[in-house]
Amino acid sequence: MDLVANFVRRYELDSLISPDLLEALTPLRRMPGEFIIGSGEPVRSLFFLVEGRAKAYRVLENGQSILAAFFGPLDVLGEVELFSSPRYALSVVALEESVCLALPVEAVKKAAERNSRLFMYLCARLGEKLDDRNLAESINLRYPVENRLASYLLASMDGEGSILGTDDLGELADFIGASYRQLGRVVRRFRGEGILEKARGRIRVLDRAKLAPYARDLYLGTECRIRPEAFGP
């Protein structure tokens, strides 16, 4: 059985993509920690994340990195730069073992007339992402680190409390836009409340219920809500 065809059927991608374009879909497997997209690389493909989870982040000139988004199936990656930039702005790295279907950008542009639904879908998801960023930015500007940390943890923990993204405190500090020191203070407080445990710079969530009240919906709404079927015939 064909892997690509299987995913296409599962997510009804054929309602978005014309048959000739469907043939150009190439599967791409990534293990946790591996790059799906590297910031600065030339934009060659549009990706559909069909399995696994991933996160996108930006690296600033001073070396700090900032978390931008989490992704899960079904979502699109690389559509931000598709028509607006020759190079990827953000890096995307797999959190779990993931599968993407890659579509060459030239093929997409060439077959534009036959794929108006795909473009509507892209516009839809872009609009959604923009709105999410806007809201998250507003909240980030208003809430202290403890809320941002709680949100990150809830968004990236698995069932056992392990952190799928990074549980490294230094990296985490960069991600949520705080100093290592401040993050350490919050972690210590959370640890005191029995919310999480820490060992050698890594953390694990012990009590999800106690963590939730701190999270303020920061990342809760950032998963993809747009459904391909909505653009079907």
Partner DNA sequence: GATGCTATAGGACATATGTCGTATCCGAAG
Partner DNA sequence: CTTCGGATACGACATATGTCCTATAGCATC
Give the ranges where 69-144 is alpha helix by DSSP (H). 105-110, 116-142
Work out whether 144 is an interface residue with DNA (CB under 7 A): yes
Contacts of 121 (CB under 8 A, 6+ apart): 16, 76, 226, 228, 231
The pattern of x and - marking residues 180 through 199 that bind DNA according to CB under 7 A reads: xxx-xxx-x---------x-
Quote the least distance from Cβ 97 to its own copies, whole Å: 27
The answer to whether residues 16 and 115 touch, using CB atoms and an 8 Å cutoff, is yes
Work out whether 42 is an interface residue with DNA (CB under 7 A): no
Work out whether 138 is an interface residue with DNA (CB under 7 A): no
Quote the least distance from Cβ 67 to DNA, whole Å: 14
What's the distance, CA 120 to chain centroid?
A: 21
Q: Segment near DNA (CB under 7 A), from 46-54, 117-125, 142-150, 152-160?
A: 142-150
Burial of 90 (0-12, 13-18, 19+ CB in 10 A): buried
Question: 49: closest CA among 85, 2, 1, 13?
Answer: 13
Work out whether 19 is an interface residue with DNA (CB under 7 A): no
Q: Which residues bind its own copies (CB under 8 A)?
A: 58, 60, 64, 66, 68, 79-85, 89-90, 109, 112-113, 115-117, 119-131, 133-138, 140-142, 177, 226
Quote the least distance from Cβ 158 to DNA, whole Å: 21
Work out whether 65 is an interface residue with DNA (CB under 7 A): no
Give Cα separations from 161 to 40, 79, 126, 198 (angstroms): 33, 32, 31, 12
Alpha-carbon distance 212 to 57, whole Å?
Answer: 23
Interface residue list for DNA (CB under 7 A) = 144-146, 169-170, 177-182, 184-186, 188, 198, 200-201
